[in-house]
Structure 1
């Protein structure tokens, strides 16, 4: 099973207002194991970046001025994600931006959904933890994923963190993987640090059998509940 954990950074919040993708970060999982195979690019959006967005990711127009355009990397990106399951936190946001970028290309490309399936971890987290905060920072705290080095948002860094959160949220994984440093260097120091993913094998659960005395006490209690409820004790009917 091949999965790709993906994140993007953008110039603003709405592609319909002309905002563009400025960073794409992906990490690969094969059979729930990080392989070290990454896709990471910075992009020249050919427009200004909202000040509020710069505060989030720290990427400036000056830094991005000599980077490739989305059109230059579109085929490589689609080849990388083709046939995989994309894992994205708040997938409608990232997929909306990527589909908008594809529509802007002179040669017609299909939408992202025509190349792969998509799993939204925000929707998954809301289902598992209704009524709670389910942003990436909250999930890191809930699943004991270390994100202290995350001073700013970054697509590759957030994809790496999300991979750990996803594995923990869906049952963990048992392989120690040291990922090599990305060939694409970032202006943001926090994204230049090689990271390790460490999840420890969980010990086998110990089975504790009840004693004959405990079994008799349990049976007696169930019979009493059944009598008090006129034979409607669900526990007894399902035994």
Structure 2
């Protein structure tokens, strides 16, 4: 299966124009002042395009998040702040690029709340939600469409260390490519589009 052709059919752009991003944060709610701690962007082959720790402007500690992502206050002491990353990140998350993520809305909320980007990208692909469309029984936590990256990666035979933005972005890139080559997914999307016509 030509996954670049599938990507073009589904999104209007090819794999060469895809960027995959992931974040680590102080918590789950940017609207309640949670902040970025790390941001990574890779291409569709998982090659690093951008990777940086981020120094929060308001938080001095984040013990619960630190237990998950391992990022301590000392690690981000001399890292750039979110506003210092705006130019470089917005060049990747711009018109013409397909922006891919896992639970992408979560990452984009942080980029928007921290004003790293000024508006949501026009072309997006959420691997979590697309995977859950065709593998609903593997989606857990009682929330329709919610599934862990670890579970999707395991399904496609992708090994990685979770809760590291660069590792998660690379795993998401692998899951993205695997999903585009997943015949059950492609058939389901084509059938849905046929019903919508």
Short-chain TM bin? 0.7 to 0.9
Query: What is aligned with 1:20?
Result: 35
Aligned Cα root-mean-square deviation (Å): 1.7
Is 1:132 aligned to 2:138, yes or no?
A: yes
Is 1:110 aligned to 2:118, yes or no?
A: yes
Deviation string 1:159-191 (CA, Å, 9 cap, x unpaired) is 00111111112107xxxxxxxxxxxxxxxxxxx
TM-score normalised per structure 2: 0.75
Q: Which of 103, 106, 125 in structure 2 is aligned with 1:93?
A: 106
Q: If you compute each CA radius of gyration, which structure gives the higher value, 1 or 2? A: 1
TM-score normalised per structure 1: 0.62
Query: What is aligned with 1:236?
Result: none
Query: What is aligned with 1:72?
Result: 84
Q: Identify, as 1 or 2, the structure richer in helix.
A: 2
Gaps of 5+ in 2: 1-13, 140-146, 183-197
Question: 1:53 and 1:168, CA in 2 relative to 1: closer, same or farther beyond 3 A?
Answer: same
The Cα of 1:50 is off from its aligned counterpart by 2.5
Match of 2:64, SS state, is: helix
CA distance in 2, matches of 1:35, 1:7: 12
Query: What does 1:1-239 align with in structure 2 at a 5 Å threshold?
Result: 1=14, 2-29=17-44, 34=45, 36-46=47-57, 47-82=59-94, 83-102=96-115, 110-113=118-121, 116-133=122-139, 134-147=147-160, 150=161, 152-171=162-181
Does the CA contact (< 8 Å) of 2:28 and 2:34 recur in 1? yes
The Cα of 1:22 is off from its aligned counterpart by 1.2
Match of 2:136, SS state, is: coil
In the comparison of the two structures, how many residue pairs are matched? 158
CA distance in 2, matches of 1:101, 1:3: 23
The Cα of 1:11 is off from its aligned counterpart by 0.6
Higher relative contact order (CA 8 A, sep 6+): 2
The Cα of 1:81 is off from its aligned counterpart by 2.4
Greater mean alpha carbon deviation, residues 44-53 or residues 122-131? 44-53
Gaps of 5+ in 1: 173-239
